[in-house]
Chain A
Amino acid sequence: MNEEMKKKNRELIEKSKKIVRDTFVKFQPSESAITWTGGKDSTTNLWLIRQVCLEENIDLPQVITIDEGDAFPEITDFLIRASHKWHIDLKWLCNFDVLKCCQSHLNNTIKIEDLNERNQAELKRIDFELSSFPFEAESYAGNHLMKTVVLNQFIEENNIKLLFMALRRDEQAARRHDEYFTKHEGGYLMPEHTRVSPILHFTERDIWENIKLHNIPYCPLYKLGYRSLGARTASNPGEVGIPAWEQDLENTPERAGRRQDKEKAMERLRKLGYM
């Protein structure tokens, strides 16, 4: 890696670190949490926050990961290995009630009446009105119960005021104008909190350069060609067998292997003045 690239990398990191430092001026580590999926972005994000905490003698906020019931074993392994390496007491969150209702089997039918009160109320809140649905992590109801609900509950129970996220502006066009800090207003079953994305300005290329430069661990699935990792059955490799960082990152969509319909629809609706 040449000097110019190293200089650019330093600038990117310094910008992110400043955002992390600013965050800790406004929020205590004890009322903050870091989300970590085991993907390249959230791993980079965690690495960066951890660096700042070490440099500034700040306690690392609790680190959480959400088990949506359809995880790649490679990601689970990676999370265990990396948390060990970084001495992180990773907190695993899961909507066990949903898994119980489908016996942890994908596509098993979940009857709404079998779910606990909170899950039933949450489905009512998103106007889901069928009496049952097949369990699938990235379906409408599945995504809400397995991710959003679990996260909301965690925020509420731990009195969390701030969540570190790993969104990137170049990840999708809809995020191009996102801000580093976004305040989420509270509502029914939704606790008020702020989200910060310190690596918002990183491109997919920047992420890989940074990982290589600083020897940050990453999940081996990227080596097999995956560019973006979500639920196991909803993610596919970009180019099979070609490591992510060797693919044409600039000219092919990162999330092509992920379910994009919703994201696309939302982006267009935003441009039409909705949402």
Chain B
Amino acid sequence: MKNVILLTIDTLRKDVLGCYGNKDKLTPFIDSLQDKCIKFTNAHSTGPYTQASFPGILTSSYYLEYGKQKKCSPKRTLISEVLNKSGITTAGFHSNPYLCDYFGWNRGWDVFYDSMQDEVSDTVPYIKGDGINHKVDQWLSSYIKSDNYRPFFLWTHYMDIHEPYIPAREYLDKVDPSIDLSEDEMLNLFKEVILKRDISNQKIVKLLKKLYDAEVRETDDYVRDFFRILEKYDILKDSVIIITADHGDEFGEHGGLSHDGKMYSEIINIPLFIYSNNHTQSEACDKLVSHIDISPTIIYLFGLEPLKAFKGHSLFPLENYPQKGVYGEAIGKTSSHEKETDEPIYFYQEDELRIIYRENDQSWEMYDLNRDPQELNNLINTSAKSEDMKKKLIPQINRWQ
């Protein structure tokens, strides 16, 4: 039996990866893995931010299933709990405060590092990728030698791409050496532009995207180092590695910045690939898949029975994966602050059509992603398919009310 490793990267847009067609060479290491990967070209997040996407990733359920609460509901079943009960060692390493002990994501882990007891810098409030790798390295070094070594499930999450974008000079140089900003100036852009969701100056928005790209480049190095650690302990060959992002990020595509309650491609479309030494050539799958399929896939890889509590479907065997739509939900906030009055937003996608419903103004949108990948031309009042698509989303809306 192989180990299963889930590597999640916060705020990583699909379109910055070379293996998804980006030409800027921001992810040389991840791209180099593709020979041994199945790449999903049509993968979707269950929501636009951590709180909405991680219920999908780690519990195969949707954000609002148990109400609007911020904490992970005790009614959810974490993949770690299922595996742990089946005798598989579970270890999680991350530094996202929304996934910390306090918010209830610590259930079912033999080892759970959420960084909350460690000091973080004043400007970048999380442990960086090298620190996370170090923790993984430390754990593996003792676990590998221990008498009760058995296949494990390891989850590692990198925060580095998440704003404030303050990349190291080294990575800024790789993206655009002409950018001459101090750390303070970058922090100021975060406070004055990103937090205010101010996209009035296109030049500044482009500059922010470059800072973001530099963080992507930096994170690619952390992924490389992570693989080196696995090689060092000679376990890479015995591991299946699922790599994905929790959500993307916006740079003015739909009037905003960061990742608020919106359901457009720059935030909802995510990279997803599965690395295995058994693969001998790159493979791509264009089926519509979702975060909620990740936990069922892990269950399958460990040879366990599918779980009724999980809403998703195992990605393996690939030929059995059903043709189905993908769905997501969140609170439709449009700034860094979620207000009490903010109401849900939902999306459903089938083939090339994506329909979005916003509760606060009861507005509908529908886009043809083949013809209009930028989602600028709302077809809801003109397409013959609108009513049919509405009918498919409405039961989900009623479910929440």
Contact for B102 among A127, A265, A272, CB less than 8 A = A265
User: Is residue A273 within 8 Å, beta carbon to beta carbon, of the partner chain?
Assistant: yes
Q: Min CB distance, A244 to chain B, in Å?
A: 23
Tell me, in angstroms, the Cα distance from A271 to B340 when the chains sit together: 21
Measured between beta carbons, the chain B residues less than 8 angstroms from A273 are 163-164, 190, 194-195, 258, 336
Q: Which partner residue on chain A sits nearest B64 by CB separation?
A: A127
Tell me, in angstroms, the Cα distance from A128 to B104 when the chains sit together: 13
Measured between beta carbons, the chain B residues less than 8 angstroms from A266 are 97
Tell me, in angstroms, the Cα distance from A186 to B333 when the chains sit together: 19
Measured between beta carbons, the chain A residues less than 8 angstroms from B194 are 273
Instruction: Let me know if A269 and B97 touch, CB within 8 A.
Output: yes
User: Is residue A140 within 8 Å, beta carbon to beta carbon, of the partner chain?
Assistant: yes
Tell me, in angstroms, the Cα distance from A7 to B267 when the chains sit together: 56
Tell me, in angstroms, the Cα distance from A271 to B102 when the chains sit together: 17
Measured between beta carbons, the chain A residues less than 8 angstroms from B75 are 129
Contact for A264 among B116, B162, B336, CB less than 8 A = B116
Measured between beta carbons, the chain B residues less than 8 angstroms from A269 are 97-98
Measured between beta carbons, the chain A residues less than 8 angstroms from B71 are 140
Tell me, in angstroms, the Cα distance from A272 to B195 when the chains sit together: 9
Interface of B, secondary structure class, is loop
Interface 1/0 per residue, A252-275 and B, CB below 8 Å: 000000000110111111011111
Interface 1/0 per residue, A174-193 and B, CB below 8 Å: 00000000000001100000
Measured between beta carbons, the chain A residues less than 8 angstroms from B102 are 261-262, 264-265
Q: Min CB distance, B175 to chain A, in Å?
A: 22
Known: A188-B340, A273-B195. A268 touches B70 (CB 8 A): no
Tell me, in angstroms, the Cα distance from A126 to B116 when the chains sit together: 24
User: Is residue B373 within 8 Å, beta carbon to beta carbon, of the partner chain?
Assistant: no
Within A156-182, which residues are at the interface with B (CB < 8 Å)? 173
Instruction: Let me know if A129 and B125 touch, CB within 8 A.
Output: no
Tell me, in angstroms, the Cα distance from A273 to B68 when the chains sit together: 20
Tell me, in angstroms, the Cα distance from A115 to B102 when the chains sit together: 25
Q: Min CB distance, A152 to chain B, in Å?
A: 13
Interface 1/0 per residue, B134-155 and A, CB below 8 Å: 0000000000000000000000
Measured between beta carbons, the chain A residues less than 8 angstroms from B338 are 274
Tell me, in angstroms, the Cα distance from A265 to B97 when the chains sit together: 5
Tell me, in angstroms, the Cα distance from A230 to B123 when the chains sit together: 30
User: Is residue B103 within 8 Å, beta carbon to beta carbon, of the partner chain?
Assistant: yes
User: Is residue B101 within 8 Å, beta carbon to beta carbon, of the partner chain?
Assistant: yes
Q: Which partner residue on chain B sits nearest A266 by CB separation?
A: B97
User: Is residue B397 within 8 Å, beta carbon to beta carbon, of the partner chain?
Assistant: no
Within B152-201, which residues are at the interface with A (CB < 8 Å)? 162-164, 190, 194-195
Measured between beta carbons, the chain B residues less than 8 angstroms from A262 are 102
Q: Min CB distance, B340 to chain A, in Å?
A: 5
User: Is residue B233 within 8 Å, beta carbon to beta carbon, of the partner chain?
Assistant: no
Interface 1/0 per residue, B217-243 and A, CB below 8 Å: 000000000000000000000000000
Tell me, in angstroms, the Cα distance from A271 to B71 when the chains sit together: 19
User: Is residue B334 within 8 Å, beta carbon to beta carbon, of the partner chain?
Assistant: no
Within A122-149, which residues are at the interface with B (CB < 8 Å)? 126-130, 140
User: Is residue B21 within 8 Å, beta carbon to beta carbon, of the partner chain?
Assistant: no
Instruction: Let me know if A129 and B190 touch, CB within 8 A.
Output: no
Interface 1/0 per residue, B92-112 and A, CB below 8 Å: 000001101111000000000
Tell me, in angstroms, the Cα distance from A273 to B193 when the chains sit together: 11
Instruction: Let me know if B337 and A275 touch, CB within 8 A.
Output: yes
Interface 1/0 per residue, B328-347 and A, CB below 8 Å: 00000000111011000000
- Top 8 A-B residue pairs of the complex, sorted by shortest distance between their CB atoms: A127-B69, A271-B125, A268-B125, A268-B97, A261-B102, A265-B97, A127-B67, A273-B336
Q: Chain A residues in contact with chain B, CB under 8 A?
A: 126-130, 140, 173, 187-188, 261-262, 264-269, 271-275
Given contacts A126-B69, A261-B100, 8 further A-B contacts (CB under 8 A): A127-B68, A130-B74, A173-B122, A187-B340, A261-B102, A262-B102, A265-B116, A272-B126
23 contacting pairs across A/B (C-beta < 8 A): A127-B68, A129-B67, A129-B73, A129-B75, A173-B122, A187-B341, A264-B97, A265-B98, A265-B116, A268-B126, A269-B97, A269-B98, A271-B122, A271-B123, A272-B126, A272-B164, A273-B163, A273-B164, A273-B194, A273-B258, A273-B336, A274-B336, A275-B337
